[in-house]
A and B are shown apart, each in its own frame.
Chain A
């Protein structure tokens, strides 16, 4: 059974703080790593899809890195804003079927 683990489970920061989360996965079963931003009652919003060791991707104030050899990915948010409050999910794809194995998510609360 493949497990994807995310830490921390929840995080409270002040507006303007920078923060980061971790996603850990079995390195022997890697095909692609997906990051999503999810607000309750909305669609999970795709942030990044990462496939190559050493990949770094950026979207505005959010960026992510990938280490497939040691089995982890970091998501960084620079200068957090209240609108960044959401649950951030990572998901491992271990084959080309598109099957995603999700972590439980990191719930971020940014206080004004």
Chain B
């Protein structure tokens, strides 16, 4: 049973195309995230949704649009793909971190989606 699953795992597409990566979690979490592994191999957050509401939106081109139809899904749509969009994209989920200092909920990641733009 995969807790956080994302599809497709591999995607090769041409520049200018529009593509989507889907993510689903079966952990009952209320918060989901998209991270991108950059050219220096760092994982960096792109978006976060809590109960279908956007709570984090880092400096990401507006060609990237997340959509959360329900708490268990957070899909990433990318319009007009560019060569520089080639990367590994990771979906993740957790319970909301909470307000008190003792909270620190585990964030669970999917296996990543390898996007190659040619």
Residue in B closest to A91 when the chains form the complex, CB atoms: B43
Number of interface residues of A (CB under 8 A): 27
A41's partner among B42, B44, B105, B111 (CB-CB below 8 A) is B111
A98's partner among B33, B43, B90, B110 (CB-CB below 8 A) is B33
A28, CB-defined interface residue at 8 Å: no
Is the contact region of chain B dominated by helix, strand, or loop, or is it mixed? loop
Cα distance, A104 to B40, chains bound together (Å): 8
Residues in A whose Cβ lies below 8 Å from that of B109? 36, 43-44, 46
Residues in A whose Cβ lies below 8 Å from that of B106? 34, 46, 49
Number of interface residues of B (CB under 8 A): 31
B48's partner among A33, A46, A97 (CB-CB below 8 A) is A97
B15, CB-defined interface residue at 8 Å: no
Cα distance, A96 to B43, chains bound together (Å): 18
A sample of 15 more A-B contacts (CB under 8 A), given A31-B101, A89-B43, A96-B98, is A31-B97, A43-B112, A49-B105, A50-B104, A51-B104, A91-B43, A96-B96, A96-B99, A97-B48, A97-B55, A97-B56, A98-B48, A98-B105, A99-B56, A100-B107
